[in-house]
Amino acid sequence: MIYQDDRSLKLLIADDDRVNCRVLKGILLKAGYQVVVAKDGKEAVTLFEKEQPDMVLLDVMMPVMDGYEAAREIKLRCTDRFVPVIFLTALTDNDALSACIEAGGDDFLTKPYHSIILKAKIDAMERIRRLYDKLQQQKHALESFHVEMQREMEVARHVFDSITQASETLPDCIKSWSRPASVLNGDLLICGRNPLNNLYLMLGDFTGHGLPAAVCAMPAADVFYTMTTKGYPVSDVVYELNKKLNTVLPTGLFCAACLIEIDVAQGKISLWNGGLPDVLVVNSEGRIHQLLPSTAMPLGVVSDAGRYSGVTDIDIEPGMRLFFYTDGLIEAENSQNEMYRKVRLHGLFDGNTQSGKLFNTIISDLQNFRGEMPQTDDITLVELDCDQLVSAMAVEDEMPVYNSMEDPDCWSAEQFIAGVSLKAADPVYVFMRMLEQHRISEIHRSRICTVLSELISNSIEHGLLQLDSNIKNTSDGFSNYYSMREKGLEVLERGWIRVKLLCRPTSDGWALTIHVEDNGEGFDAESYLANMAGIESLTGRGVALIKSLCDEFSYNKTGNIARVIYCWK
3-state SS track over 279-326? EEEECCCCEEEEEECCCCCCECCCCCCCCCCCEEEEECCCCCEEEEEC
The per-residue pLDDT for 12 is 94
- pLDDT single digits (tens) 450-505: 899 888 888 888 888 888 777 777 767 777 888 888 888 877 777 888 888 888 88
pLDDT digits (tens, 9 = 90+) for 136-189: 999 999 998 988 888 877 777 777 776 666 555 678 889 999 888 876 777 888
Digit-coded pLDDT (tens) for 40-80: 999 999 999 999 999 999 998 888 999 999 999 999 998 88
pLDDT at 36: 93
Stretch 242-258: mean pLDDT: 87
Query: Rounded mean pLDDT of the chain?
Result: 83
The predicted model scores a pTM of: 0.54
pLDDT bracket for residue 196 (50, 70, 90): low
- Percentage with pLDDT > 90 across the chain: 30
Report pLDDT for 210: 67
pLDDT score at 306: 55
**β-pair type (107-110, 85-89):** parallel
- Does the pLDDT at position 108 exceed 70? yes
DSSP secondary structure of 242-259: HHHHHHHSPTT--EEEEE
Pick the closest to residue 517 from 566, 554, 567, 468 (CA basis): 554
| Structure confidence at residue 1 (pLDDT) | 46
User: Would you state the pLDDT for residue 273?
Assistant: 94
Better pLDDT: 400 or 49: 49
How far is the CA of 113 from the CAs of 93, 120, 242, 366, in angstroms? 16, 11, 78, 69
Q: Determine which helix (DSSP H) or strand (DSSP E) holds 500, and give its type and residue range.
A: strand 496-506
Q: pLDDT at residue 393 above 70?
A: no
Number of Cβ within a 10 Å radius of residue 445: 17
Q: What is the pLDDT of residue 403?
A: 43
Range with the largest mean pLDDT of 155-164, 209-218, 248-257: 248-257
More confident residue, 410 or 7: 410
pLDDT > 70 fraction of the chain, expressed in percent and rounded: 86
In 3D space, the residue among 12, 20, 11 whose CA is nearest the CA of residue 89 turns out to be: 20
**pLDDT value, residue 49:** 93
Q: For residue 314, is pLDDT > 80? A: yes
Determine the longest span between alpha carbons in the chain, in angstroms: 130
pLDDT band at 401; cut points 50, 70, 90: very low
